[in-house]
């Protein structure tokens, strides 16, 4: 890797300091990784957020445009590849990366499996964390993405990373077992990952609970049991080949319902209400667009749509399920209005839970994950 462009060290350090000051990580090793590993090195072209033309910007990491360089070292995801107009690869938002790396807690000398190589930037951060005695195996289903990332990693001196073009759902048994496994695309749990994770190891993934969001879930394996909690709401591209529905918010002619909204709720409750509705009625849940453009959680049936918005219930159609929505919101209140961190996740390999809690939600996967309130 050639010498850093002017000012890039300061930009890296500023980003790392921001991640620490905003509470996305308190681990000094992760802060040091973001301060040391050059994000710009892993970019050749990307799409600027908010650019109405959505045209790719060519980027030379050896001689970058100063304005683009500053954009690279801000807390924003950068889409790097499209297929048929749909984003299929990106450099994730650094804040989300920091949260996932802290949950993973990779230590020097450990072996890590990464599913979803992307640009290779996250693999380089992992290489920094495991050190020269550690090993990172990174998989991407796209041969073009894997090849470009592998080249950048080797040229950058991250020789403890090996990249393979492969379907990440199968893992990489040749280097198993792994101390840590990290998945960088929205997915369900897959049996190969569990089988390749050592006892006592940690698996972190954006779990595709419902269409439109994938909260970060950290699971620790103890024998045949995996357990953990969610850490952060996030949005990720779906793991390619995974049967996860990722519908976009639908624009509907929503109007205020005659029934009042739920008292004491506001915009801060949006994601928690959405998660609860998705758990209760997964086949009917959807995100829809309110008249003001806000994406809001809703229940959709053949008769119509009923949605929650701050201060109101919204409906569309001839027979919207507004009573069902109101009942579910009351139920959420009776349960204490649970937040993301209130759910405990468990998965059992080869057998069901020994004593299921009275209130449990079962999420599909292999193995399935059960959720209950702490």
Can 89 be counted among the known catalytic residues?
no
In order of 60, 67, 201, 333, 345, the CA distances from 182 in angstroms are 29, 32, 11, 34, 17
- Alpha-carbon distance of 91 to 212, in angstroms, equals 19
In order of 31, 227, 261, 368, the CA distances from 246 in angstroms are 32, 25, 27, 19
Q: Which of 153-163 are b and which e, b meaning 16 or more Cβ less than 10 Å from the residue's Cβ?
A: beebebebbbb
At residue 33, the 3 state secondary structure works out as: helix
Of 196, 197, 101, 111, nearest in space to 161 by CA: 111
At residue 299, the 3 state secondary structure works out as: strand
| Catalytic residue from among 89, 90, 91, 213 | 91
Instruction: Enter the tokens of residue 87.
Output: 């984003």
Q: How many CB atoms lie within 10 A of CB 253?
A: 10
- Alpha-carbon distance of 245 to 266, in angstroms, equals 27
User: Which residue numbers are catalytic?
Assistant: 91
């Amino acid at each position: 890797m050639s010498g850093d462009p002017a000012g890039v060290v300061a930009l890296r350090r500023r980003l790392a300091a921001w991640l620490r000051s905003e509470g996305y990580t308190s681990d000094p090793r992760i802060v040091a990784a973001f301060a040391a590993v050059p994000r710009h090195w892993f970019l050749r072209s990307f799409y600027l957020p908010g650019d109405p033309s959505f045209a790719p910007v060519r980027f030379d990491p050896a001689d970058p445009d100063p304005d683009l360089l500053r954009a690279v070292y801000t807390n924003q995801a950068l889409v790097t590849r499209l297929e048929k107009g749909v984003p299929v690869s990106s450099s994730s938002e650094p804040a989300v990366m920091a949260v996932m790396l802290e949950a993973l807690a990779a230590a020097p000398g450990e072996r890590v499996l990464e599913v979803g190589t992307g640009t290779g930037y996250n693999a380089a951060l992992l290489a920094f964390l495991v050190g020269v005695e550690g090993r990172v195996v990174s998989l991407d289903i796209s041969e073009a993405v894997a090849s470009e990332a592998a080249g950048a990693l080797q040229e950058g001196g991250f020789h403890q990373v090996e990249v393979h073009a492969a379907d990440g759902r199968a893992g990489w048994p040749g280097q198993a077992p792994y101390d840590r496994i990290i998945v960088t695309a929205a997915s369900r749990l897959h049996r190969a990952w569990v089988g390749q994770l050592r006892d006592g190891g940690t698996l972190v993934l954006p779990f595709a609970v419902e269409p439109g969001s994938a909260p970060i879930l950290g699971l620790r394996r103890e024998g045949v049991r995996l357990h953990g909690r969610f850490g952060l709401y996030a949005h990720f591209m779906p793991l390619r080949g995974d049967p996860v529905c990722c519908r976009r918010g639908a624009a509907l002619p929503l109007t205020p319902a005659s029934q009042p909204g739920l008292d004491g709720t506001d915009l801060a409750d949006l994601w928690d209400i959405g998660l609860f509705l998705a758990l209760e009625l997964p086949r009917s849940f959807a995100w829809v667009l309110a008249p003001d453009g806000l994406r809001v959680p809703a229940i959709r049936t053949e008769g119509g749509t009923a949605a929650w918005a701050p201060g109101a219930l919204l409906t569309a159609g001839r027979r919207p399920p507004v009573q069902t929505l109101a009942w579910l919101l009351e139920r959420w209140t009776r349960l204490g209005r649970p937040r993301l961190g209130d759910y405990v996740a468990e998965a059992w390999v080869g057998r069901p839970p020994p004593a299921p809690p009275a209130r449990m939600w079962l999420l599909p996967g292999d193995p399935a994950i059960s959720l209950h309130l702490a």
